[in-house]
Amino acid sequence: MAESDNIVVETAEKIFADLADPQTINNDKKGAWQAPLWQALSEAGLPLSWVPDDLGGSGASLADGFALLNAAGRFAVAVPLAETMLAGWLLAQAKIASPEGEMTVLPASPKDRITLDADGLLSGRTRGVPFAKTAKHFAVLARGKDGVSVALVDAAKARIEAGLNVGYDHSDTVTLDKVQPVALKAAPKGLDQTTMMLMGGVARSLQIAGALESMLDISVRYSNERVAFEKKISKFQAVQHNLARLAGESAAALAAATSAADAIASARAFDDEVYLEAASAKIRCAEAAEKGGAIAHQVHGAIGFTMEHILHRYSLRALAWRDDFGSESHWAVELGKLVANRGADELWPLVASR
C-alpha cells in the first residue's frame, strides 16, 4: 500500500492536499470546505470505489479502496467517505445499485439490530451512526424471519437524533419505524452483521493508522522546531524515546490494519483467519490511538491542546473511531471467545496460519 504506486490513492491524496488541508479546515469554523471536497471526491468516483460499474460505482478493488481509507486517515477528513464506501460495498453485495450522494450504513454497532417484518418494512434503533445527519441514503443490514437482507433506505424516512462523537463529528441515533425501503434484496450467503462490522472495523483501523502516521509526522516536525531549555526538544533523550514509542505504535497500527485489509481483499470467505486479522486490527489500532495520541499531545505541550492547533483533528478522531463498528473491548471479548472455543492447542496454528 505504498502511496506512490496506486492511482486511486494518488488521486485522493491530491484532492485532500488541495481541498482538505488540516490548517485550512481548522480555521474554517463554518464548514464551507466540505462541499467542494465532497464534490471533488465524487467527481473522481472515490466514494463509490467499492461499487462495480454496472451498479453505478467506479469498481476499484477492495485493496485499492482500503489504501484510499488509509490515505483519508492521514488527512483525518471529516466527510462521509468511508461511510459511503461501506454503504456502497454493502449494497453491491446484494446487487443493489448505489445512488449519488452521501451514504452511511446501519447498524453501526454490533449490539444494535434492524429487523425486517413480513410486510417488507424496516424497524429498529441504532446508535452511534456516523454521518447519519448528512447522509442522503442509508445502506441497511436487516434481519427477518427468512434471514439477512440488504436494503437501501431514503434518509428522510428515518428519525434522526443528532449527536457528536468525541472528535466533533456526526454520530447520530437513527430510528426506523416501519420504513419502506427504496430497494430490498436478500443478502448473499455468508454476509451477516458480523461481516459488516469487521469490514467497518478494518476501515476504521486504516483511518486510525493513517491519523497516527500524521501525528507522528507533525510531532517529529514540532520537536525539531520547538526550543526549550536552550535546545531543540528533539535533542532531549526523554522526548526521543517518547517519539520512538509513538513510531512503534504508529507502525503497529499500520501493520495490523494493512494486514487485515490484505486478508479481506484476498479472502475467499470470512473465516476464522480473517476474523483474527480484522478483530486484531481494531483492537490493536484502538490501543495505538490511545497510547500514540497521548504521546503526540505530550510532545506538543499545551499548544497541542488548543483548538487552533491541528493536532486534535487527528488525535480526537482516532479516539472517536475506536467506538465505531464495535469497540476494542467488544472485539477482544469476541476474539477471546473464539480462541477459547477452538482450544489451547489451536491458538498457535491460528496465529501462524499465514
Residue 67 or 151: the one with the smaller Cβ distance to another protein is: 67
| Residue with grid cell 442522503, as numbered in its chain | 136
Residue 164 or 340: the one with the smaller Cβ distance to another protein is: 340
Residue 79 or 246: the one with the smaller Cβ distance to another protein is: 246
Backbone region of residue 114 per phi and psi (left: phi > 0; alpha: psi in -120 to 50; beta: other values): beta
DSSP-assigned states of every residue in 90-136: HHHHTTPPPPSS-EEEE--STT---EE-TTS-EEEEEEEEETTTT-S
Least distance CB 210 / another protein (angstroms): 9
Residue 92 or 197: the one with the smaller Cβ distance to another protein is: 197
Least distance CB 153 / another protein (angstroms): 33
State the SS3 of 123-136. EEEEEEEECCCCCC
Least distance CB 125 / another protein (angstroms): 24
Least distance CB 233 / another protein (angstroms): 10
Quick one: how many helices (H) and strands (E) in the chain? 11, 10
Least distance CB 15 / another protein (angstroms): 15
Quote the cell numbers at residue 344.
Answer: 489451547
Quote the cell numbers at residue 131.
Answer: 454521518
Least distance CB 222 / another protein (angstroms): 12
Least distance CB 286 / another protein (angstroms): 9
**Residue in 135, 175, 167, 141 with CA at minimum distance from that of residue 322:** 167
| Residue with grid cell 418494512, as numbered in its chain | 121
Least distance CB 197 / another protein (angstroms): 15
| Residue with grid cell 441514503, as numbered in its chain | 137
Distance between CA atoms of 320 and 4, rounded to whole angstroms?
29
The answer to whether 134 touches 80, Cβ cutoff 8 Å, is: yes
**Residue in 14, 23, 32, 10 with CA at minimum distance from that of residue 79:** 32
Distance between CA atoms of 314 and 304, rounded to whole angstroms?
11
235-241 LR contacts (CB < 8 Å, sep 24+): 239/299
Residue 63 or 97: the one with the smaller Cβ distance to another protein is: 63
| Residue with grid cell 464551507, as numbered in its chain | 32
Residue 114 or 211: the one with the smaller Cβ distance to another protein is: 211
Residue 159 or 221: the one with the smaller Cβ distance to another protein is: 221
> Please, what's the largest Cα pairwise distance for the chain?
74
Residue 102 or 324: the one with the smaller Cβ distance to another protein is: 324
Least distance CB 237 / another protein (angstroms): 8
Instruction: List % helix, strand, coil for the chain (3-state, nearest 5).
Output: 55, 15, 30
Q: Residues in the site for another protein, rule: CB under 8 A? A: 1-3, 74, 212-214, 216-217, 220, 223-224, 234-235, 237, 239-241, 243-245, 247-248, 250-252, 254-256, 258-259, 261-263, 276-277, 279-281, 283-284, 287, 328-329, 331-337, 339-341, 343-345, 347-348, 351-352, 354
Residue 8 or 116: the one with the smaller Cβ distance to another protein is: 8
